[in-house]
Structure 1
Amino acid sequence: MVSPLADRRCVPCRGGVPPLTPAEFAPLLAQLDGWQVVENQRLVKSFRFRNFRQAVDFVNAITAIAEAEGHHPDLVVRWGEVRVELWTHKIRGLSESDFIMAAKIDRLYQEWLARTGATAGPAAGARSQAEAGGKP
């Protein structure tokens, strides 16, 4: 199930606002599936795919949402995996927009799974030698 946060819009941060405290972000985090807060500053989640091309396609879809929302995550692409990190740079911590963007990315992933009929791929590094082009 996708959080209702996915239907909200990110609000540009003008700075000078304190980051959310753990007590403030806990209810927002509870609405997300599989996201973790790291060092009370970053929201992080990895998404799994069957291959590198699917991972790159997902990143490209995230960029469209990020541009529309004006809120840009850090994205790390590996074979079969995309790691997403969100935080609000101007306040060096978490804002509500980070949680909204996370919910939008979750919705995108669920839509992708439904559209392709795919299931999430194995953990990164768990591919066979044949899938890796015969290389270990």
Structure 2
Amino acid sequence: MKSELENKKCVPCELGTNPLNHSDIMVFSDILSDGWEVINDVKIEKKFKFKDFKEALEFTNKVGALAEEEGHHPDIQLSWGKVVISLTTHKIHGLSENDFIMAVKIDKL
């Protein structure tokens, strides 16, 4: 299933689309790499550590380029040696398959 997500492209959600339910979120979260945390069934988040600010910034720029490619944009916190990525689908106020697609692709960076 992980490789299926790697090969998918994010598709814009339409207004009125329901966010994933708890059971579906648990299925998707089981295929994510270690470090991703489900928060209140509304977002997923992971902290990435780096040796310095420059490496953290380079990673942030790669995530930004991926987000533009996919048309699905995470919230990113950048600080010295650390990047925190939060994914949610704002349009539906919860998690969608797109969030998990992005998480898998971010881990590949």
Identity %: 46
Hey, what does 1:6 align to over in structure 2?
6
| In structure 2, distance between residues paired with 1:72 and 1:17 | 18
| In structure 1, distance between residues paired with 2:48 and 2:60 | 10
Letter of the 1:31 counterpart: I
Task: Tell me how large the CA RMSD over aligned residues is.
Answer: 0.7
| In structure 2, distance between residues paired with 1:23 and 1:36 | 15
Hey, what does 1:23 align to over in structure 2?
23
Equivalenced residues, count: 106
SS at match of 2:20: coil
1:61 to partner: Cα distance:
0.5
Letter of the 1:9 counterpart: K
Letter of the 1:64 counterpart: A
Hey, what does 1:55 align to over in structure 2?
56
Runs of 4+ with deviation above 2 angstroms? none
TM-score of the superposed pair, with normalisation by structure 1: 0.76
User: Can you give the 5+ residue segments of structure 2 that lack an aligned partner in the other structure?
Assistant: none
Hey, what does 1:76 align to over in structure 2?
77
Looking at CA atoms only, which structure, 1 or 2, has the larger radius of gyration?
Answer: 1
Letter of the 1:93 counterpart: G
Q: Is structure 2 residue 88 aligned with structure 1 residue 87?
A: yes
SS at match of 2:86: strand
| In structure 1, distance between residues paired with 2:108 and 2:7 | 10
| In structure 2, distance between residues paired with 1:73 and 1:88 | 9
TM-score of the superposed pair, with normalisation by structure 2: 0.94
Hey, what does 1:45 align to over in structure 2?
46
1:15 to partner: Cα distance:
1.7
Letter of the 1:48 counterpart: K
SS at match of 2:51: coil
